[in-house]
Amino acid sequence: MHHGKLLFRLTTLAAALAACSLANAQDGDAKRLDGIIVTATRTPVTVDAALAAVEVIDREQIDASGAQSLPELLRGRAGITLVNQGGAGKLSTLSLRGTESDHTLYLIDGVRIGSTTSGFAALQDIPLDQIERIEIVRGPRSSLYGADAIGGVVQIFTRRDTRPGTHGHLRLAVGSHGRREASAGVSLRGVRGGIGVELAHQSTDGINACRGTYDPLTWAGAGCFIVPGTHLDRDGYRNNSVTLNADFAPNDQWRFDARAFRATGHNDYDGDFSDNADLRQQVIGGHLRFTPAASVQIALGVGRSTDDSRNYLGNAFQNRFLTHRSSANLQGDFTVAKGQVLTAGLDWLRDTASVSDPWSPFAARRHNRAGYLQYQGDFGIQDFQASLRHDRDSQFGGATTGSIAWGIDFAAGWRFTASYGTAFKAPSFNELYYPGFSNPLLLPERSRSSELSLTRSGAGWRAQANAYDTRVRGLIAWDSTLFKPNNVDSARIRGLELTGEVLLGPWTVRGQVGWLNARNSSAGFAHGLRLARRPNHSARLDLDRALGDWSVGVSAVGEGARWDDVANTLRVGGYGTLDARVVWRFAPGWTLQGNLNNAFDKRYETSAWYNQPGREFLLSLRWQPG
């Protein structure tokens, strides 16, 4: 049997066993896994108490994984499908629970990010060295966050050291394809506040991103835009980033914090209209919190994100896409009775775009105002949550969304939850205004989702099964009768997720398995066909063991085959990969880590015609006292 197919099947089996069989863990051999998450409700709740399918990836997990990018860290996780176009720094899009790649809301430190023209967030340009933790909430969240949160929300929190005193850290790494990485950070913290700075650099010579060639008869590989005999070189990538943070609390009632993140870089890729780009991602935000009593907290947040791409053909300028998202939020959390919290808030958002293009320049602007209410009630063994939100957009008008969730604890460690929610996605500026290829009459895409979840947990272990059903209508697609995009498609997406985690003595085991049935439900030739770029099966298994001053681990990821086109004629095969790592703590605060990714040198693609890296190594030296 082919290595990839065998590894995929073994990964699925092992991950399913890890997710389903954790009840055998001994309570005394592991610690609790009840971290805090704020993204699910916009208020702090424990993972165990959240009435949603959530996942937290903390700094310890990021360091242990040895992942070289954010997309690499997320791949194979339940409900997540990633598509990458040629390795490090190349366009990477994420589909959450089978929804479209622009149906997930992304936040950095509470600030909404993403290009207002394409609708995508540049995940590949957010270095892992700048991330403290990641919170993933699966399922609709428009009733709290507004547009985009059909599939869920991914929030990234930038790195910050909260320990008192002066602290620093340093990391240096080298690897395959001329990869070079360096990062460092320092923080100073007193009784009432602190400041910190984080710096990071990464560069790689890359791989030859595209194997396709332009064929005017079959269009085979046309997505790569390569004339035969050209662009057979490596496609490199460079990224320099900085994060600044500061916070101050003059007393127990008032607290202020501010964070700024900026990443600039250069990306080479294969194309005949443009083949390299200068990139900039920037997020600035601040929060002022007032807590006059234990039962009341008022918070004001402001932020602004920038997505800037200058594209060239050789040294010749081709175009520039510059977009901004400015936002403000006022939220009050009120404990009206023991275990009962009422949240009320106002959101304001302004999106702008400026496209400099010799053939089709345009500029656009719109703003959105919204109000939302949420109730959370804890009634002993039962929990209840309900939220309602109304958005008023200057371009398409109003949209009202809501959600309701109920949970009950029964028997020893068992928990059952049920939820229902609606969501919407506003059209991007390219879909609305791009000259010759747009439709200013587009309406938001809308969805309704229901979910059932069963969880069992104990000291040091947790297992969960989630079944969901999502129906999306008004999907934006090209309408051949109008020769422009239109709200013509619809889809039904059903899925099952199994996740599990156990800490057992020196062992840490995490398993995730996903089954997905995402099909086009539109009238016409595509009715009943699978949605493009969604595999039916995916699995991930992470296994780590501590051995004194050493630790070893493996990560296995497998995904089934997928179709790369709406007509289901271009098949991209399934694959399985195995990554291995070893860590040596050779002195206090010092570690040396070696990673071998894609150990069996599996050749595979996540998007037709775009190569993925083969076997790679990375050697990292880290100094992190305490």
**HEC profile of 314-371:** CCEEEEEEEEEEEEEEEEEEEEEECCEEEEEEEEEEEEEEEEECCCCCEEEEEEEEEE
Tell me if 83 sits within 8 A of 96, measured CB to CB: no
pLDDT at residue 536, rounded to an integer: 95
- Mean pLDDT within 207-213: 81
What is the domain range of residue 473? 3-623
pLDDT at residue 229, rounded to an integer: 56
Cβ neighbourhood burial of 49 (10 Å; 0-12, 13-18, 19+): middle
pLDDT digits (tens, 9 = 90+) for 580-621: 999 999 999 999 999 999 999 999 999 988 999 999 999 999
Confidence label for 478 from pLDDT (cuts 50, 70 and 90): confident
Tell me if 70 sits within 8 A of 261, measured CB to CB: no
Tell me if 308 sits within 8 A of 289, measured CB to CB: no
Confidence label for 28 from pLDDT (cuts 50, 70 and 90): very low
Which two structure tokens, joined as six digits, stand for 144? 């709290």
Confidence label for 27 from pLDDT (cuts 50, 70 and 90): very low
**Residue 30 scores a pLDDT above 50:** no
User: What is the rounded CA–CA span in Å between residue 423 and residue 448?
Assistant: 6
- Within the chain, how many helices (H) and strands (E) appear? 5, 33
pLDDT at residue 246, rounded to an integer: 98
Residues in the chain: 626
Q: How far is CA 226 from CA 208, 275, 459, 484, 608, in A?
A: 12, 10, 55, 26, 14
Cβ neighbors of 81 (< 8 A, separation 6 or more) are 94, 95, 98, 516, 533, 534, 535, 538, 559, 562
74: β partners: none
**Residue 515 scores a pLDDT above 50:** yes
Which two structure tokens, joined as six digits, stand for 343? 């949240």
Which two structure tokens, joined as six digits, stand for 42? 């916009």
User: What is the rounded CA–CA span in Å between residue 117 and residue 121?
Assistant: 11
Question: What count of other Cβ atoms lies within 10 Å of the Cβ of residue 506?
Answer: 12
Tell me if 2 sits within 8 A of 572, measured CB to CB: no
Tell me if 341 sits within 8 A of 334, measured CB to CB: yes
Share of the chain above pLDDT 70, in %: 91
603: β partners: none
pLDDT at residue 31, rounded to an integer: 40
Which two structure tokens, joined as six digits, stand for 432? 């609305």
pLDDT digits (tens, 9 = 90+) for 51-82: 999 999 999 999 988 899 999 999 999 999 99
User: What is the rounded CA–CA span in Å between residue 415 and residue 40?
Assistant: 18
Closest CA to 427 of 413, 406, 417, 441: 441
pLDDT digits (tens, 9 = 90+) for 281-316: 999 999 999 999 999 999 999 999 999 999 999 999
**Residue 418 scores a pLDDT above 90:** yes
Rg (CA), the chain: 24
Closest CA to 159 of 199, 190, 191, 107: 199
Tell me if 457 sits within 8 A of 21, measured CB to CB: no
Closest CA to 22 of 507, 591, 551: 507
403: β partners: 387, 421
Q: Tell me which amino acid residue 531 is.
A: L
Tell me if 128 sits within 8 A of 67, measured CB to CB: yes
User: What is the rounded CA–CA span in Å between residue 192 and residue 247?
Assistant: 8
Q: How distant is the alpha carbon of residue 400 from its chain centre?
A: 25
Task: Tally the domains of the chain.
Answer: 1
| Phi-psi group of 50: left, alpha or beta (phi > 0 → left; psi -120 to 50 → alpha; rest → beta) | beta
- Mean pLDDT within 500-510: 93
User: What is the rounded CA–CA span in Å between residue 265 and residue 102?
Assistant: 23
pLDDT digits (tens, 9 = 90+) for 528-538: 999 999 999 99
Q: What is the CATH number of the domain that holds 508?
A: 2.40.170.20
Which two structure tokens, joined as six digits, stand for 143? 């009733």
- Only one residue has tokens 């959450």, namely 96
User: What is the rounded CA–CA span in Å between residue 617 and residue 553?
Assistant: 15
pLDDT at residue 26, rounded to an integer: 42
- Mean pLDDT within 107-131: 96
Share of the chain above pLDDT 90, in %: 82
Q: How far is CA 70 from CA 88, 214, 353, 477, 511, in A?
A: 10, 31, 26, 29, 19
Q: Is 570 helix (H, G, I), strand (E, B) or coil?
A: coil
- Mean pLDDT, the chain, rounded, equals 91
pLDDT digits (tens, 9 = 90+) for 317-339: 999 999 999 999 999 999 999 99
